[in-house]
Chain A
Amino acid sequence: MKVTRDVVEKIAELAQLQIPDGELESMTEKMSRVLDLVEEMQSADTTGIEPMANPLDATQLLRPDVITEENQRDLYQEIAPETKDGLYLVPKVID
């Protein structure tokens, strides 16, 4: 399948990525090639086949509803780019 520059720009926006104008053409072409490779799959007859998300068809396990983790906020925030009073800082969102 051929994707267009518009589609790549829209997807990049969804994925929070910036593709410089100079690279958009080659990225569009590369994505089209991967989607061409993937196309082969469309010829498989999958009528009535249940999609498989887990190789062992395992379901989510339940555990007793007890507290197992202690609060380690200070430890985890040591590696954050910017924090203040236990909060993560980002640029101003609302003026």
Chain B
Amino acid sequence: MESSNRLLLLAATLCATVMLTGCASFRWPWSKDKAVEQQQTEEQAAAEEAAEEADTTPPRVIEPNVARRKIKTPKIDNENWEIGVGAGFLSIEDFGTNPTYAGQVTYHVTEDFFFRADLGQSTAGRTSFENLGGDIELLTGDERRFTYYSLSLGYNFLPGEVFLGRDTAMNSSFYVLVGIGSVDFAGDDRLTLNFGAGYRVLPTDWLAISLGVQDRVFDSDLLGESKLTNNIEMLLSATVFF
């Protein structure tokens, strides 16, 4: 009996030791095992890391085989310059009306406004004073040459179309311009103010035919007293865009 008691006590002590000290090999069914918890959190972290990795570098299921097209933009030609020649008549005050020839360069800034440079030459005729006075010559041959240039700012208005017959329509517009320049006449240079208006027709997009009238005003003292002279020019010109 003694030995059985001793066995019982031993078993009870063993059980108490195991249960009360919280041996790792024993656990209560309601208690949460820290090791398991730790293992779980480790697993979660690993999963999260994996997910993060998946976000940054997706699994290469399909290799992208799309080459982006490279567009080389060609330079677009700007056709704002216009150059041409013209012929017409210039009425030089007191010196009659004479043929004149001119060249012009235009830069179109907008559809409305343009800059224009004119360079022309004419030859003055005889004044009535010279005609009536017999042998009097006011100016020598060289001095009769009337060379002028002007720098103007112009404005296009009333754009429209003109119709030639049934099948042809050509663009057209009116313009006005004002500018300053100079004239070399009678051995002297003079400052001129010029203003005028014209009408132009474009048979094609690169060719313009225009008829313009300009008044070139300058101060002249050729015939005694100083006075403002008006020199009206009418010019028919053909210009091309480039």
Q: Do A and B truly interact?
A: no
Instruction: Mark B residues whose CB is within 8 Å of A.
Output: none
